[in-house]
A and B are shown apart, each in its own frame.
Chain A
Amino acid sequence: MNTKKIANHKKTFARQGKVDRALRELPLHLMLLPSLLLVLIYSYGSMAGVGIAFQNFVPTKGLFDSEWVGMANFKTLFSLPDMWQVISNTLFISISKMIGGVIAPVVFALLLNEFRSSAIRRSLQTMVYLPNFLSWVILAGIFIDLLSPSNGIVNAGLKAFGIEPIFFLGDKKWFPITMIVTDIWKGFGFGSVIYLAALTGIDPSLYESAVIDGANRWKQTLHITLPGITSTIILMTVLSMANVLNGGFDQIYNMYNPSVYATGDILDTMVYRLGIEQVQYSLATAAGLFKSVVSLVFILASYYLAGKFAGYRIF
């Protein structure tokens, strides 16, 4: 009965005239109107400001009277000594963080999901969610203590296993790895919230029928749980591409030092040092625009890949 009705309805839908369709869509446009206005004013309204990247911008002259210099700012940026070193540092750190930042929360959410007791789930969840709310200024001090080769807890642990102390924050090899691991540690709990929410959306009857079919927990996870949150994982992965050149300014700025510049100096710290002496808006905007364009390319690519291979268009 019901299916028949829907089938009928589909037919009518197809026969609808253009006017009807436009009328049917009108409320949808109207619903977008408020947010569209805000976005046009505040995001696109100021976006004209990227023009600064192509200017020798002088605040008192404004966007229209400052001198246009074409690509000169980009040339300056890329002629900085170490620029390519800095970009490769940034890419290594940010891409590792992106990968870890997607995998760790998913794994944690799945492991947590195994517990039946909601008391355990809730308390563990609340605890891992804490570090996200401590700023790197505070955490940097704590990590420098914890990771000290002479009297830090971590190295004391390594010593117990007969491993030579590691100067995590003062050793070129270890510094980027330390940044990646501590960043994932800080964010995975908060990151898992979204997956936990997605897990609650999975239809429990699917598990019931799987149990009847004799599927064990592993198979259930593989064939029901993971597919159930795939769309969220894809969405988060694609959106994380926006960070492809964000190495994490606050973290690195608070923890790096001259002895690890070779592997730890990233785009944002470099731009910060450029700007701090004198406010070089043009150069900073150029760097920002460069980051945006690269991110856009990555987002487009992953959007396309997700559509092609997962058959899923995120937006």
Chain B
Amino acid sequence: MNIKASLSRKAFLAINFIVLSILALLCVLPFVNLLAISFSSKEAVTSGKVGFLPIGFTASSYSFIMHSPAFLKSMGVSIARVALGVSVNLLLVILTAYPLSKSTRQFRARTFYSWVYVLTILFSAGLIPSYMVVRYTGLLDSIWALVLPGGLPVFNMLVVMNYFRSLPPELEEAAYIDGAGHISTLVKIFLPVSTPTIATVTLFSFVFHWNSWFDGMIYMRMVDHYPLQTYLRTVVINPEAFFRNTSNLNSDLQILLGLVSARTTNAAQLFLATVPILMVYPFLQKYFTTGLVMGSVKG
């Protein structure tokens, strides 16, 4: 009986491993293709020959980028934005999630507040009104314009609130008896046992700030202040759109040849732009360890 069970378990694990590995491979391949393009010669790329290995290996796309001040500058803006944005997000998420995680008995206004926050996910007024508010609060062309309007990511807040609510009530009551106030309960009791969730929303915030491009395009009045993804959108142009927007075709003919090899440099830039996200994840993974949490409390 026991042996049978462990046999079927082993078979399950093996099949599981194979299936998930194939799945994982399918997820990696497009990325490998991008990488191969970034290291291939322009001729090989324009004729569509590049698959998963570079053809006509060259690192010139990368050296070209390293000499491009615009890429590096926008990378700098993005780093500053992420640092500032993630800090603000985390602070506000935690400060907001804690009160809302209380029961209605403990905090009578919580349901009302919750809906105030949730409604903001659903209704957005569009380009011009949002721009006007940012303009009147004096944030135009400042990095705060990329941080404050989305200062509270409601989705993340709900995730953390949901987690706080799942913590055993005994935790808090014990703290209350010990005479702890709200802030010290939050900092000393709640946060230490919430690392996996905090790590998750940190990741979400990081990814959000790193990938956002539209607000950069609207609120930044100088291309020098574009964050990385906004900048990338301006270089990953399709030649057609380019043609149709510039009505002065003649003198722009020169550009076309540059655009052709743009595919390799674009691939390289896209790859470099993704690296930080790839690095941050394994770093956060170590917080995804087990929740000894509950056991320790209940005992």
Contacts and interface: CB of A to CB of B under 8 A. Distances in A.
A36 to B, nearest CB: 7
A133 B277 contact: yes
Interface residues of B, number: 100
Contact of B162 (A36, A50, A193, A314): A314
A212 interface: no
B108 A142 contact: no
Contacts of A131: 27, 30-31
B9 interface: yes
Interface string A29-66: 10110111011011111111110100000010001000
Interface string B135-178: 00100000000001111100101110111011000100110110
A193 B203 contact: yes
A5 interface: yes
Contact of B109 (A29, A202, A289): A29
Provide the main secondary structure of the chain A interface: helix
A197 B182 contact: no
B20 A112 contact: yes
A115 B17 contact: yes
B13 A205 contact: no
A52 B26 contact: no
B182 A31 contact: yes
Nearest to A195: B200
* Chain B CB within 10 Å, residue with most, of A38, A52, A63, A204: A38
Provide the main secondary structure of the chain B interface: helix
Interface of B: 5, 9, 12-13, 16-17, 19-21, 23-28, 30-31, 33-34, 48, 92, 95-96, 98-100, 102, 106-109, 111, 113-130, 132-134, 137, 148-152, 155, 157-159, 161-163, 165-166, 170, 173-174, 176-177, 181-183, 196-197, 199-200, 203, 207, 211, 236, 270, 274, 277-278, 281-282, 285, 288-295, 298
Interface of A: 2, 5-6, 9, 25, 27-29, 31-32, 34-36, 38-39, 41-50, 52, 59, 63, 108, 111-112, 114-115, 120, 122-135, 137-139, 142, 145, 185, 189-190, 193-194, 196-198, 200-205, 216-217, 231-232, 235, 239, 242, 281, 284-285, 288-289, 292, 295-296, 299, 314-315
13 contacts: A6-B170, A9-B176, A38-B152, A111-B20, A114-B13, A128-B27, A197-B288, A201-B197, A284-B126, A285-B126, A289-B123, A314-B158, A315-B117
